[in-house]
Amino acid sequence: MNIVLFGYPNSGKGSLSQKLIDCSFVHISTGDLLRKEVKNNGKYAHMIKYCLDNGKFVDDSIVLDILKNQLSLISNNSNLLLDGIPRTLNQCEELEKLIKIDYAFELVCPKNIIIDRAKNRLVCDKCKRTTSKLIEKDFCSVCGGNLLARVDDNIDLLNKRIDDYEINSKPIRNYYVSKGIYHQVDASISVNITLQQVKRVLKYGNN
């Protein structure tokens, strides 16, 4: 079974994914894959870094190429959890050619909460876990890695990413509604509440 998560930046896709990994999903975050490509100085590193530093979408062909590579490393029987893709209607269509998507979850959260979360977000440079300055600082309490703020969480880039989401999410939503696999979950309160809603859908199916 394969699922996609989409929602505003900072709506909690990463935190929800960490919980779903425990439910035997293999997590694929396109944001993480792109940051890794930059870190490893891969063939697309330069172009990707420019996009990340400027809050722009990376070209579909690059994202899909990197995703295909990652998929080739994963067993065919895995339950996949895609986080950060699709971001455009074209990506929805291209993704469908690679794997069958069974459920699409949109994490819904008011904009003021998204902005507040961004001010406090920290990501571990080692295990990639997302946390908040309100909970811990400097070092990851799970693996001891360094906790760092994300470059694209500054307010100008965040506003741009929010605008991009608002423009692109409608066709994505319509695409999955037309396939009968779209579900909205509340991501404004806590990750456990979002998780419960996702689990309920997975238990009862697309009805």
| Residues engaged in binding ligand AMP (CB under 6 A) | 9, 30-31, 34, 51-52, 55-58, 63, 84-85, 87, 91, 152, 161
Q: Residue 203 CB: number of other CB atoms within 10 A? A: 7
Minimum distance from CB of 126 to ligand AMP (Å)?
16
Minimum distance from CB of 93 to ligand AMP (Å)?
13
Minimum distance from CB of 194 to ligand AMP (Å)?
16
Closest CB to ligand AMP among residues 56, 173: 56
CA nearest to 52, candidates 168, 162, 161, 169: 161
Minimum distance from CB of 55 to ligand AMP (Å)?
6
DSSP per position, 17-54:
HHHHHTTTEEEEEHHHHHHHHHHTT-TTHHHHHHHHHT
Spatial CB neighbours of 112, under 8 Å, sequence gap ≥ 6: none
Q: Residue 95 CB: number of other CB atoms within 10 A? A: 19
Closest CB to ligand AMP among residues 156, 200: 156
Output the CA angle 109-14-132, nearest 5 degrees: 80
Minimum distance from CB of 34 to ligand AMP (Å)?
5
Closest CB to ligand AMP among residues 59, 196: 59
Closest CB to ligand AMP among residues 52, 185: 52
Task: State which residue has the least CB distance to ligand AMP.
Answer: 31
Secondary structure class of 99 (helix, strand, coil): coil
Minimum distance from CB of 174 to ligand AMP (Å)?
18
Single-letter residue type at 44: Y
Secondary structure class of 73 (helix, strand, coil): coil
Closest CB to ligand AMP among residues 20, 52: 52
CA distance 179 to 183: 11
Closest CB to ligand AMP among residues 155, 200: 155
